[in-house]
Amino acid sequence: MTTSLACLADGGLSIGIEAPLDNDWTSAGEQSRRQADRRPGEPDLQRHAELAQLADRLGFRALWVRDVPVYDPSFGDAAQVFEVFSYLGYLAGITRDILLGTAAVVLPIREPLLTLKSAATVQRLSGNRLMLGVASGDRPVEYPLFGRDFVGRGDNFREQVALLRDGAQSSLPSGLDVLPRMEAPLPLLVAGLAQQSPAWVGQNMDGCLAYPGTPEDHARRVAAWRAVAGDKPYASFIHLDLSERADEPMLRWRFGLRGGRQALVAELRALHAAGVDHVGLHFRRNRRPLDETFHEIAEHVLPVFHARPAGAAVPAQEICHV
């Protein structure tokens, strides 16, 4: 059985999508938000299930969700709103092939045994499609709300990674267990360093989730990752506004770009050359309807990297046998 992590990097560079599935960071999206009386940074979730299923059918490799337990107006970003593991369980039930990843669960503010049980549940229900991205957190307001020690979050992170690795067998009294048991090792990808040394991260984590950046940024980061982690997967994200003009030149901004599909292909090729294994596309700045954008990328961009005929929607499981 091929693992979800092997599937993620199968065939070279793969392309996924990052939730929320809304373009609420556009002027039209902002107008809609105000009319609907949603909070700043709160996406419109009316079509999230339909769009997740579309991404699955079209052959996008992974769908990433974030872990934002408490809305903080100073950040102005509610992510995909839903509790991360509940949402992953729902997505597992309405999709068939697309990998499901977290980017990333903040381990030190969570109860370790419940995190293990939640992850094992999603892993079983999804047919081993889960990739658990983990982090130590970057929102200072969260730690006191959960009664957790901010200073000791690095030690807590290491302890929780050990618990996830052995299914809590070394920390439970004799005779107790956490069900369901993992059928395969749970892939753990780290966002940032999580208060650890690069050497520890490279040795103990299965992949890297990197902040968006230019190909030159990623070339440096990939080199640092490879030095401590070897050929373990390296993934990142692009905030994309895909133009209707296929040949519109690239306009780069922080965390992403505006341009036509030719510019997107060129950027993805440059990222692949820099050593990136997977790119998740983030569409909150995308001015076009998302279903239209998904179809264009599936027809003209995915075949360049997923090695399939133009327009064909070959399920990830047929490629990777997850």
Question: Band of the pLDDT at 181, cuts 50, 70, 90?
Answer: very high
Per the listing, tokens 């094992």 go with: 120
What's residue 183's pLDDT? 84
Per the listing, tokens 């995915």 go with: 302
What does the buried/exposed string (b/e) look like for 263-283 if buried means 16 or more CB atoms within 10 Å of the residue's CB? bbbbbbeebbebbbbbbbbbb
Instruction: Give the residue-averaged pLDDT of 137-152.
Output: 90
> What is the spatial distance between Cα 224 and Cα 86, in angstroms, rounded to a whole number?
35
Reply yes or no on whether the pLDDT at 311 is more than 90.
no
Counting every residue written for the chain, the total comes to 322
Instruction: Give the residue-averaged pLDDT of 181-198.
Output: 94
Q: Which candidate, 278, 291, 294, places its Cα nearest to that of 61?
A: 278
Instruction: Give the residue-averaged pLDDT of 293-314.
Output: 79
Question: Band of the pLDDT at 221, cuts 50, 70, 90?
Answer: very high
Question: Band of the pLDDT at 314, cuts 50, 70, 90?
Answer: very low
Residues 6+ apart with CB under 8 A from 220: none
Contacts 24+ apart (CB under 8 A), 223-226: 223/275, 224/198, 226/275
Instruction: Give the residue-averaged pLDDT of 278-294.
Output: 98
> What is the spatial distance between Cα 242 and Cα 160, in angstroms, rounded to a whole number?
39
What's residue 138's pLDDT? 76
CATH number at residue 104: 3.20.20.30
SS3 155: helix
**What's the pLDDT tens digit per position in 95-126?**
999 999 999 999 999 999 999 999 999 999 99
Proportion of the chain above pLDDT 70, given as a percent: 95
Question: Band of the pLDDT at 317, cuts 50, 70, 90?
Answer: very low
What's residue 184's pLDDT? 85
Q: Which candidate, 302, 262, 299, places its Cα nearest to that of 281?
A: 302
Neighbours of 39 (CB within 10 A): 12
Instruction: Give the residue-averaged pLDDT of 149-153.
Output: 93
Reply yes or no on whether the pLDDT at 270 is more than 60.
yes
Instruction: From residue 241, give the alpha-carbon distance in Å to each of 65, 146, 207, 287.
Output: 19, 37, 27, 6
> What is the spatial distance between Cα 69 and Cα 318, in angstroms, rounded to a whole number?
35
**What's the pLDDT tens digit per position in 76-85?**
899 999 999 9
In the chain, the DSSP E strands lie at 14-18, 62-65, 99-102, 105-106, 130-135, 188-191, 207-209, 234-242, 251-253, 256-259, 278-282
> Domain total for the chain?
1
What's residue 316's pLDDT? 46
Instruction: Give the residue-averaged pLDDT of 222-245.
Output: 98
What H or E segment, with its residue span, contains residue 195? Answer: none
| Mean pLDDT of the chain, nearest integer | 94
Q: What is the torsion angle, in degrees rounded to the nearest 10, for the CA atoms of residue 118, residue 124, residue 129 and residue 131?
A: 30
Question: Band of the pLDDT at 2, cuts 50, 70, 90?
Answer: low
Q: Report the half-sphere exposure of 174 (CA within 13 A, side-chain side).
A: 0
Tokens for 192, please give them. 């940032």
**What's the pLDDT tens digit per position in 17-63?**
999 999 999 999 999 999 999 999 999 999 999 999 999 999 999 99
What's residue 312's pLDDT? 45
What H or E segment, with its residue span, contains residue 43? Answer: none
Reply yes or no on whether the pLDDT at 265 is more than 50.
yes
Range of the domain at 280: 4-320
